[in-house]
Structure 1
Amino acid sequence: MDYQRLITIEPGKRGGKPCVRGLRITVTDVLEYLASGMTVEEILADFPDLTAEDVRACLAFAADRERRLWAVPPT
């Protein structure tokens, strides 16, 4: 998924944290809701500005970041 068009980083918004489409909802917010057991449908009901594609973009962003952060050098 090409999350780059959906995940934005603006220095003056939410402390420069990655947000969804310039909204004040951060990637971390969405990931924490999912981790707490909320379903995508529950998140979308609580935050009508979000779409299922936005939630998938948050997951793709986190997966990409994790992939780059945890590369173990060969021994």
Structure 2
Amino acid sequence: MKAEIFPRITIDPEVCFGKPTIRGLRVRVSDILDMLAAGATREEILKDFPYLEEGDITAALAYAARAADNKIAFAAE
């Protein structure tokens, strides 16, 4: 079952093993983040993946920011 968990971000067990992807395409949120972290510009990403839109990159960043803001519970040692 496909689920939109954030604007433009979907999770589908049949696509990329259920990892968060851009609009159900086979481009994972982590792929976008990795490219940006490696120094790629938005323009370069959009040129390399012409089926992506500017809003897709913004959505990946927003999703990552939300995920990073989640509280993490650590087990007591």
Q: TM class by shorter-chain length? A: 0.7 to 0.9
Runs of 4+ in structure 1 over 4 Å off: none
Q: Distance in 2 between matches of 1:69 and 1:15?
A: 25
SS at match of 1:68: coil
Instruction: Give structure 2 stretches of 5+ with no counterpart.
Output: none
Question: Which of 16, 24, 29 pairs up with 2:31?
Answer: 29
Over the aligned positions, Cα root-mean-square deviation in angstroms equals: 1.5
- Corresponding residue for residue 59 of structure 1: 61
Residues 1-75 of structure 1 aligned to structure 2 (within 5 Å): 4-70=6-72
Identity across matched positions, percent: 48
Q: 1 or 2, which has the higher strand percentage?
A: 2
SS at match of 1:8: strand
State TM-score, norm by structure 1: 0.86
Q: 1 or 2, which has the higher helix percentage?
A: 1
Higher relative contact order (CA 8 A, sep 6+): 1
Q: Match of 1:66, as an amino acid? A: A
Instruction: Give structure 1 stretches of 5+ with no counterpart.
Output: none
- Which deviations, in whole Å up to 9, do the C-alpha atoms of 1:20-65 show, x marking residues without a partner? 0010000000000000000000000000011110000000000000
Q: Match of 1:7, as an amino acid? A: I
